[in-house]
Every structure is written in structure tokens, then in C-alpha cells.
Structure 1
Amino acid sequence: MVCGGFVCTKNSLCALNVLYVLVSLLLVGVAAWGKWFGLVSSIQVVAGVICVGIFLLLVAFVGLCGALRHHQVLLFFYMIILSLVFVVQLSVSCACLALNEDQRNHLLEVGWNKSESMQTDVEKTLNCCGFSHVDYNRSCAAICFKQQPPLSCTTCSDIIEKYAGQVLRFVGGIGLFFSFTEMLGVWLARRYRNIKDPRSNPGAFL
């Protein structure tokens, strides 16, 4: 059978959803590993990453079941969910790529002020204190702050802003790549729904 037929489309759709399963397990595993080894103490961050991983796993499960059983309803809902995810992910990816330096700094400061546990993680990891200025009257998780006198500490904004643009471009690029794989999934699911199973009854409906 030539590629583009029933079997080839089915296998392509299954392979795409297996990739989504692997990515979802990777997200959950990285979040659990970071929490277990104390690299991330923020429950909100860990829970958010795990929720994204579980959602992606459920979507991939729906796609796999629909592909293996040639189930019209499951494939239809799979297409709808992937289309919505594509719109959201494409918007976020374009926003990450379009942010200028002032907008990046504003968003970083807003995110910094929202969670004290995240501040502790960043200070410990990057060995810095405070966002825009070092306050020696408060505690700091950085190693430089424990030295006497703690005069070698730099602000976290100086370190974060060096890599913020690169990170946002990387995240935006990865998001764009996966958004197009989602459109590929929608196209494959639509094509697969409209192909008759050659092993089924010739008079049956798809």
C-alpha cells in the first residue's frame, strides 16, 4: 500500500501520539526530579508542569485510542482539542519571540514578586540576591550572602537579563515547532477519519 493510505496514515498518527506520550512523561519526570532533589521548591511551578504533562498525556491517549480503533468520535474530539492547543501555543510562542527588552524585564519583575519560594530557588541556583538591588537586612539563600562580609553578591536581574532573551527565543522556537506538529496531527486525524478501513465491510460507513 502506498504511503498516504489507511495503514500509513494510521501509523503516522500513532507515531505522533507516541512522541506526545514521551514528551508528557519527560515533563512529569523532570518536575518530580526537580522537586525530589530540592532544585525547585515552588509547589505551583511543579504542579503546573505536572498538569501540563498529564494534559498532554491524556490528549495523546485519546489520539492513540482513536487511531488504533478508527473511532470517529475520539478522532473528532482529538482534532478539536489539538486545534485549541495550537491556537494557544502559537500565540504564546509568537509573544515570546516578539517581546522587547523592556517588556521582558517587566514580566521578569512581576514573576519575581509573585513567589517567595521561586525567589529562593533562583537565588540559590544563580548565587545572587534580590531582583534589582541587594538588601543586606533580609535573608538570602545565595552562597555569596553567607560570606563575611557579603559584598560580592550581584542582583539576580543582572544575571537573568543576560539569558532572558535567549531563553525566550528558545522557548518560542520550541513552541512553534510543536505547534506545527499539532497541525500535522489535526491534518492526519482528519484524513484518517475520511479513509475507509480496507478490512471492514465494504458497505459499512467509514
Structure 2
Amino acid sequence: MVCGGFACSKNCLCALNLLYTLVSLLLIGIAAWGIGFGLISSFRVVGVAIAVGIFLFLIALVGLIGAVKHHQVLLFFYMIILLLVFIVQFSVSCACLALNKEQQSQLLEVGWNNTNSARTDIERNLNCCGFRVFDPNETCSSDCFRSHQCQPCAPIIEEYSGMVLRFVGGIGLFFSFTEILGVWLTYRYRNQKDPRANPSAFL
């Protein structure tokens, strides 16, 4: 049986928004866990992750309330915001999957030069010092710095960067298709009449 009825559209939209709610809470929880266990000391990185999680949670909440109450205005704004998020996320995911090794290396070097706290986390967690060349005169928070026998961080980071970008791009691409599904479901659900309402009433 094809899912074309009012109740089926409503249930699918509610389930999709519950999934977004779980993902947003998971994102906030992972960021809090990372800073709680000392894996991430950069408040900027944690702040961005928590802000994205809260933003996703609010979108899911708007969609959930709109679906439960069949609220036309909430559903309209939910549909527009979800479409904009889809465009941004789809573009970023495709960019992640399309980056070659040279572009990845340049991007990593720019990031390395512009973030001091993230650089400290990387050096400590990967036990390396410097990006391209190890300089014993510079300060470093890794354990190997005491013996002055550290490897530069660039080869270690580049070894995993391609895999991480493919993973992030794939996950982002998957969720971008769930977002366009959400836009389609919302559009269809907005134009369906509630069978419990007055049949002569307009939407």
C-alpha cells in the first residue's frame, strides 16, 4: 500500500523529525564528551558543534510541532529552512568528496596556521610537533617533545584526512537526501486535508 494518506504523511514527518532530534542531541553530547574528557580544548570547535546541534534541534522541533498540529505557517517555514539547509549541506558534502590530495593538504595547512588551540590538541593526541618540519625551538605539548624526537604532524594528518573527508561527505550526502525527502513530505502534507476536520473548511 502506497503511503499517500494524511495519517501516513504525518507519521513519516514525525519520525523524520524525531531522527533529526536524536542526531542533534548526539552531536551536542559528543561535543560535550570531547571537552569533558580533554580530547578537545578549543571552545570554538566545541561551540560550533553545539551551535549546529542546537540549530538542528530547533528545526526538528518546529517540524515536529507543525506535523502534529498540521500548522500551515510552521510547516511552511520548516520547509523553506530545510530546503536552504539541504542546498548548503549538499554543496559542502560534494566539495568534501571532490577534494584531491593537494587541495586537502593546502586546506589543512591553512587550518593549522589559523588555530592555536586545535593545533595543541592535534600535537597532544597524535604525539607530533610542527606541521611540515619539527622545530625543537618551538613550544609543543606532545610527549615526544621532551626527547626532541618528534615527527611533523602533516604526514599523520594527511594519512587520515582523505578517509575523514570521505566519511563526512558521505554522511552529509545521506542526510541531505533525507532533508529533500522532508521538504517533499512537508509540501505534500501541507496540501492534505485532515479527515477529522470539517470537510468544507479550507486549508
Which residue is equivalent to 1:119? 119
How many Å separate the matches in 1 of 2:63 and 2:202? 21
Which residue is equivalent to 2:10? 10
Residue aligned with 1:157, SS: helix
CA RMSD in angstroms comes to 1.1
Of all paired residues, the percent bearing the same amino acid is 68
Which residue is equivalent to 1:162? 159
Task: Decide whether aligned partners of structure 1 residues 2 and 101 sit closer, same or farther in structure 2, where only a CA change above 3 A counts.
Answer: closer
String of CA shifts for 1:26-61, please: whole Å, max 9, x gaps.
Answer: 111111111111110111100000000000000000
**Normalization by structure 1: what TM-score?**
0.96
Residue of structure 2 aligned with 1:190, choices 171, 187, 195: 187
Alignment map for 1:22-171 (pairs within 5 Å): 22-146=22-146, 148=147, 150-151=148-149, 153-171=150-168
Which residue is equivalent to 1:201? 198
Gaps of 5+ in 2: none
Deviation of the 1:157 alpha carbon:
0.4
Deviation of the 1:3 alpha carbon:
2.7
Deviation of the 1:205 alpha carbon:
1.2
* Number of equivalent positions: 203
How many Å separate the matches in 1 of 2:168 and 2:16? 21
Deviation of the 1:4 alpha carbon:
1.8
How many Å separate the matches in 2 of 1:138 and 1:98? 35
String of CA shifts for 1:63-121, please: whole Å, max 9, x gaps.
Answer: 00100000000000001000000000010001011111111000000001111110100
Which residue is equivalent to 1:20? 20
String of CA shifts for 1:136-157, please: whole Å, max 9, x gaps.
Answer: 01221111112x3x22x11110
How many Å separate the matches in 2 of 1:161 and 1:20? 31
